[in-house]
C-alpha cells in the first residue's frame, strides 16, 4: 500500500472494523475506512490523505487524490468502484491490513506518549564527579544502577560562581544562572534591610514543628520545573522537596511547591513553614512523634573500612545526638526513611499529571567539609549513599514501577582537597582568612578617603562597600571600588579581582572563568568586588571547603534514567543548566522562565 501521513490518525472507539484516515486538517476526523457485511471497504466523508482514492462528484468521474490533496467521497462509496490509475479492489484482508497499519501508526504517533508518573531529582551535596570513578568497584546499589542504565554525562559542570549549596540547588530545576534567579549565594548582604540574609529566609512565615527562623522560596525570582508543571496542570500535580538542609529542600521545589521539609538539628524533627500550610501535616507529626532520630544513639560507622578510625554517635538522645546525626551517614538514613513516608502520604506519582519529588542528601557535605575528599569517611558515606539509593529505587519500584519514574542525579558542587594533603603531593594550595583579604582593603580605603566603616559586610570573598558613606563624603563609587580592588589584587594568592563596574560593562578577560562570574552577577544582590583566589587556596582554618569556579568545585555528576532516556556515556561538555529545559521538553511543559540551558536531545528516545 502506498505510504501516507499518519500524524492525525484517530481510532474510532465504536466501529470494530474501521479507522479514520490521516491528514493535516481538523475535519479529517470525519474520514473513515469502513467494512460492510460483504467484506467491501469504503471511504466516507472527507479526507486530506493524498494516497487514498477519492470521488469528486462535480468532476463526474472517479479520480486519484494524488493529483490534488483533498476530496469528497459520497457516503458508502466502495473503494473497489473508484479509479486511482489501475482499479484497486480491496478485500476484507486488505482492508483489515489498512486498519491495522493505521491503528499502529495511531498508537505510535498520534496518542500522546505516556508521561512519567514522577520526576525524582536526587542531589548528593558535595559529591564530586570523580567519586563515581574512585569508588565504582564498591557501588552495587543505586549509583551502580544509574551508571549502568542511565544517560551519564562525564563532563557536566556548574557554569556559575560561587559554587555553593543554594545556587546549585536553585539551578538544578530552573536552568537559571544567579544573575537571573537572584540566588547569588547561601547568604548575602541586603542593602534594603541593611543586614545579612539567607537565600531562603522569610520573616513573614514561621517554622512548623521545630525551632528556627521562617523560610520560603520567596527570594527565588524564576520558575522551577515543578512550577511550570503546576501552571500547566493546575491542581493535578504535586511537588515536594525534602532535605536535611532548608535551602536544599526549598529552592529546587520552587515557589508553587505543595511542601518542603527539612531537619531541625536542635529537636531531631522534620519541619516545614507556614509558607506551605497553616499546620504541619499529620503524617509528619506522627513521623516526628516516633523519635526516629533517637534510634541512632550509639550509631557506628567506618567500622569495616577503617576500624581504627571508626566513628560513634552520642549514646543518649538530645541536641548533641541530633547534630551528630546530621554530620554522619545516619542523617542520610533518616532522610531516606522520611522520603518513603512522604511518597506514600503525599500520593506522589498518583496524580493526573507528573509529580515532582526533590531529595537532597546533605550529610555528605558535612562529612566532606570535615575530612576532605580523600578521607575514608567520604568513601564510606559515598558507598552507603549508593545502598540508600537502591533502597529508595526498590521502594518506588514496588509502589509505582520504576519504569514510570524519571530519575535525575546530580550534585550542587564539589570540594577542594585538604591543603595538608596537597602539600604531601607537592601541589600548590593553602589556607587564608577573611582578614588576609579585607584588612588590606580597609587600610587602603582609609589611607585614600579617610576614617570610616568602608566595608559593611562580606559574603564569601565579596565585600559590600558602604555606599551611604561614599556618597556622604562626595566620592565616586567606581573610584572607591577601584582603590579597593587594587589593594587586594596585590595580596599573595589572589588570582583575579573584578569590580562591579567591570562586570556590568563586560570589561573583563574573555575566558570561561570570567563567563561564570558574569553569569552570576546580580546588580541588586551581588557585592562590589568579586575576588578569586589561586586554585587550591581556601578561606578555612580547618577541614576544607568549596566555592571556586575551578574544576574540583564545578565538575559534577549528571545522570538521567527512565522513560524517554537513551542510556550510555556522553562525553561532551554540558551544564547543570541544561537539565531543566530537557525535563520540560520530555514533559511537554514550558521551559522554566530563567533557563539558559539547552535541551540534551542526544539522550532522548523518540516517543
Phi/psi region, residue 76 (left: phi>0; alpha: psi -120 to 50; beta: rest), is left
State the distance between the two ends of the chain, measured CA to CA, in whole angstroms.
25
- Asked if 22 and 7 touch (Cβ cutoff 8 Å), the reply is yes
564 burial level (CB within 10 Å; 0-12, 13-18, 19+) = buried
Spatial distance between the Cα atoms of 585 and 302, rounded to a whole number of angstroms: 43
Spatial distance between the Cα atoms of 297 and 319, rounded to a whole number of angstroms: 11
- Asked if 376 and 304 touch (Cβ cutoff 8 Å), the reply is no
Is position 591 annotated as part of the catalytic site? no
Which of 248, 582, 568 lies closest to 408 in space, CA to CA? Answer: 582
Beta bridge partners of 300: 312
Could you tell me the three cell numbers for 43?
Answer: 471511504
Q: Per residue in 327-359, is it b (16+ CB within 10 Å) or e — as a string?
A: bbbbbbbbbbbbbebbbebbebbebebbbbbbb
CA 26 to chain centre: 38
- Asked if 418 and 544 touch (Cβ cutoff 8 Å), the reply is yes
- Asked if 36 and 82 touch (Cβ cutoff 8 Å), the reply is no
Q: Which of 19, 47, 165, 174 is the catalytic position?
A: 165
CA Rg, the chain, in Å?
30
Catalytic positions are: 165
Amino acid at each position: 500500500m502506498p505510504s501516507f501521513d499518519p500524524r492525525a490518525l484517530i481510532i474510532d472507539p465504536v466501529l470494530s472494523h474501521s479507522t479514520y484516515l490521516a491528514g493535516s486538517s481538523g475535519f479529517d476526523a470525519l474520514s473513515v475506512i469502513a467494512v460492510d457485511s460483504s467484506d467491501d471497504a469504503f471511504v466516507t466523508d472527507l479526507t486530506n490523505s493524498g494516497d487514498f482514492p477519492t470521488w469528486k462528484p462535480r468532476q463526474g468521474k472517479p479520480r486519484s487524490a494524488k493529483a490534488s490533496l483533498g476530496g469528497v467521497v459520497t457516503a458508502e462509496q466502495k473503494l473497489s468502484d473508484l479509479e486511482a490509475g489501475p482499479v484497486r479492489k480491496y478485500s476484507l484482508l486488505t482492508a483489515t491490513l489498512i486498519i491495522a497499519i493505521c491503528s499502529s501508526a495511531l498508537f505510535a504517533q498520534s496518542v500522546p506518549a505516556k508521561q512519567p508518573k514522577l520526576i525524582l531529582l536526587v542531589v548528593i551535596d558535595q559529591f564530586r564527579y570523580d567519586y563515581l570513578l574512585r569508588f565504582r568497584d564498591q557501588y552495587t546499589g543505586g549509583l551502580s544502577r544509574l551508571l549502568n542504565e542511565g544517560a551519564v554525562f562525564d563532563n557536566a559542570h556548574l557554569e556559575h560562581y560561587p559554587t555553593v549549596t543554594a545556587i546549585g540547588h536553585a539551578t538544578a530545576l530552573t536552568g537559571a544562572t544567579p544573575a537571573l534567579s537572584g540566588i547569588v549565594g547561601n547568604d548575602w548582604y541586603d542593602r534594603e534591610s541593611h543586614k545579612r540574609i539567607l537565600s531562603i529566609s522569610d520573616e513573614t512565615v514561621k517554622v512548623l514543628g521545630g525551632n528556627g527562623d521562617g523560610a520560603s522560596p520567596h527570594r527565588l525570582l524564576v520558575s522551577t520545573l515543578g512550577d511550570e508543571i503546576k501552571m500547566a496542570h493546575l491542581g493535578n500535580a504535586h511537588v515536594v522537596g525534602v532535605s536535611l538542609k532548608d535551602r536544599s529542600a526549598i529552592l529546587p521545589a520552587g515557589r508553587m511547591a505543595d511542601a518542603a521539609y527539612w531537619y531541625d538539628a536542635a529537636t531531631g524533627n522534620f519541619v516545614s513553614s507556614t509558607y506551605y500550610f497553616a499546620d504541619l501535616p499529620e503524617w509528619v507529626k506522627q513521623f516526628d512523634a516516633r523519635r526516629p532520630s533517637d534510634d541512632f544513639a550509639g550509631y557506628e560507622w567506618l567500622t569495616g573500612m577503617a576500624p581504627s578510625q571508626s566513628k560513634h554517635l552520642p549514646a543518649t538522645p538530645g541536641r548533641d545526638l541530633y547534630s551528630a546525626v546530621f554530620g554522619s551517614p545516619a542523617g542520610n538514613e533518616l532522610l531516606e526513611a522520611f522520603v518513603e513516608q512522604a511518597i506514600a502520604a503525599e500520593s506522589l506519582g498518583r496524580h493526573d499529571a507528573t509529580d515532582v519529588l526533590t531529595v537532597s542528601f546533605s550529610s555528605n557535605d558535612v562529612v566532606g567539609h570535615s575530612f576532605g575528599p580523600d578521607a575514608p569517611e567520604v568513601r564510606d558515606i559515598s558507598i552507603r549513599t549508593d545502598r540508600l539509593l537502591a533502597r529508595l529505587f526498590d521502594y518506588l519500584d514496588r509502589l509505582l514501577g520504576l519504569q514510570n519514574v524519571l530519575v535525575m542525579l546530580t550534585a550542587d558542587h564539589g570540594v577542594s582537597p585538604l591543603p595538608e594533603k596537597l602539600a604531601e603531593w607537592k601541589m600548590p594550595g593553602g589556607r587564608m582568612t577573611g582578614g588576609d583579604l579585607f584588612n588590606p582593603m580597609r587600610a587602603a580605603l582609609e589611607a585614600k578617603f579617610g576614617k570610616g566603616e568602608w566595608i559593611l559586610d562580606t559574603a564569601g570573598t565579596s565585600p559590600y562597600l558602604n555606599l551611604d558613606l561614599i556618597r556622604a563624603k562626595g566620592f565616586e563609587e567606581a573610584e572607591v571600588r577601584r582603590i579597593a580592588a587594587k589593594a587586594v589584587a596585590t595580596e599573595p594568592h589572589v588570582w583575579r579581582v573584578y569590580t562591579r563596574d567591570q562586570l556590568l560593562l563586560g570589561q573583563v578577560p574573555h575566558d570561561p572563568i570570567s563567563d561564570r562570574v558574569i553569569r552570576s552577577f546580580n546588580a541588586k544582590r551581588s557585592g562590589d568586588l568579586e575576588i578569586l583566589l589561586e586554585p587550591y587556596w581556601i578561606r578555612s582554618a580547618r577541614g576544607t571547603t568549596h566555592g571556586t569556579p575551578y574544576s574540583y568545585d564545578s565538575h559534577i555528576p549528571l545522570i538521567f534514567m527512565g522513560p524517554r532516556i537513551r542510556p550510555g556515556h556522553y562525553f561532551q561538555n554540558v551544564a547543570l543548566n541544561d537539565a531543566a529545559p530537557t525535563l520540560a521538553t520530555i514533559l511537554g511543559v514550558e521551559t522554566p522562565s530563567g533557563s539558559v540551558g539547552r535541551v540534551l536531545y542526544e539522550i532522548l528516545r523518540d516517543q
